[in-house]
Amino acid sequence: MSCLLIVDDEPLNLEIIADFLDGQGHELTMAQDGLQAWTLLETAPDRFDAVILDRLMPQMDGMEVLRRLQADARFEALPVIMQTAASEAAQVAEGLAAGAWYYLAKPYDGTALNSIVRAALENRRHRQELTRLGQEMRELLTLAQEVQFRFRSPQEARLLAAALAQLCPNAGSVAMGLSELLLNAVEHGNLGISYQDKSSLLESDTWEAEVARRLASPEQADRWATLEFGRDADHLHFTIRDQGEGFDWRNYLELDPARAFDSHGRGIAMARMLAFASLEYLERGNVVRTRVAIGEAV
């Protein structure tokens, strides 16, 4: 059972959210302002699996709660879903940049809420697993100078991201960033799942089943993506290649408020902003190269 913290200063909104989430296997804790929410979070930092956070509240607003969460390492893997009637581009961009990966525009329906909650909880579970797996492989990978890995499934992508991120002090951010790029190579690159396809599959909760179906198809038997790792005097280098047709990557390098209310589509921009010294796409978009400064690495 997932434990969700719901923060809204309107009692009616809290009731509506509780009704939407009823029967989904969540334990719900309610807070009526940001100060009460922050007290609950500080008192039990490991208790909650996600926060549904109203932006405009008395005493302490949602942005201040978000800033405190982002500044506290204890909440690094805690996803925040910002619910707001403030949907202007500048306001949405501010929330995205501050760490609100997920957005809900008021008013919203139960389907949208449950889709976003599922995506947020899945992200948290993956980040926790990345940390655990990476720590197990850290000592071996500190010996690597140049090496190439190949992978074809989301599970293999997450394992690689977790392991290689442990070479960096900002391991959580790099694990997230590498995971997004590697998963993109599998899902959108080799498997050919479009942005619109993913939106529909996530909404219907059939995303993982469709990925598994495509991976099992005969045309995917010889399709692999690769990750090349190397070092020089100043940087760690990661180059990721897939066998897909590529995509227009220019639309995904920045946090686009127009996609803020989707359940996905922020990973590349967040990776570029938080995880790497540089990130660039090459050729037709099926090659991406990133760097981490050696002064920040093990």
- Sketch the domain layout of the chain as residue ranges: 2-108, 132-296
Pick the CATH number of 2-108 from 1.10.3430.10, 3.40.50.2300, 3.10.129.10, 3.30.1370.100: 3.40.50.2300
Q: What is the pLDDT of residue 139?
A: 67
Whether residue 47 has pLDDT greater than 90: yes
Given a cut of 90, whether residue 159 has pLDDT beyond it is no
Does the structure show a pLDDT above 80 at 140?
no
Lowest-pLDDT choice from 34-48, 196-210, 260-274: 260-274
Tokens 């797996």 appear where? 133
| Higher pLDDT among residues 241 and 108, named by residue | 241
Q: Which of 78-92, 99-113, 268-282 has the lowest mean pLDDT?
A: 78-92
pLDDT of amino acid 242? 96
Q: In this model, does residue 298 exceed pLDDT 70? A: no
Mean pLDDT of the chain: 86
Q: Is the pLDDT score of 97 beyond 60?
A: yes
Instruction: Report pLDDT for 290.
Output: 95
Summarize pLDDT for 257-278 with one digit per residue, the tens: 677 667 777 788 888 888 899 9
Of 24-28, 142-146, 161-165, 260-264, which gets the smallest average pLDDT? 260-264
pLDDT tier for residue 64 given thresholds of 50, 70 and 90: very high
Mean pLDDT lowest among 64-73, 122-131, 182-191, 197-206? 122-131
DSSP string, 61-79: -HHHHHHHHHH-GGGTT--
pTM above 0.85, yes or no: no
| Omega before residue 107 within 30° of 0, cis | yes
CA distances from 116 to 47, 51, 63, 113 (A): 20, 11, 19, 5
pLDDT at 73 over 90: no
Is it the case that residue 50 has pLDDT exceeding 90?
yes
Neighbouring CB atoms inside 10 A of 116's CB total 26
Whether residue 249 has pLDDT greater than 70: yes
Output the pLDDT for position 41: 96
pLDDT of residue 112: 83
- What residues pair up with 281 in beta bridges, in sequence order? 288
- Between strands 26-31 and 2-7, the pairing is parallel
Task: Give the mean pLDDT of 73-80.
Answer: 87
3-class SS of residue 172: helix
- As a whole number, mean pLDDT of residues 143-169 equals 88
Percent of the chain residues past pLDDT 70, beyond the cut: 91
Buried b (16+ CB within 10 A) or exposed e, 202-230: bbeeebeebbeebbeeeebeebbbebebe
Q: Give me the pLDDT at residue 127, please.
A: 76
Q: CB–CB of 51/4 below 8 Å? A: yes
The answer on pLDDT for 98 being more than 80 is no
Q: What is the CATH number of domain 132-296?
A: 3.30.565.10
Token digits of residue 291:
């760097």
Would you say 230 and 148 are in contact if contact means Cβ atoms under 8 Å apart?
A: no
Residue 135: pLDDT band (50, 70, 90) is low
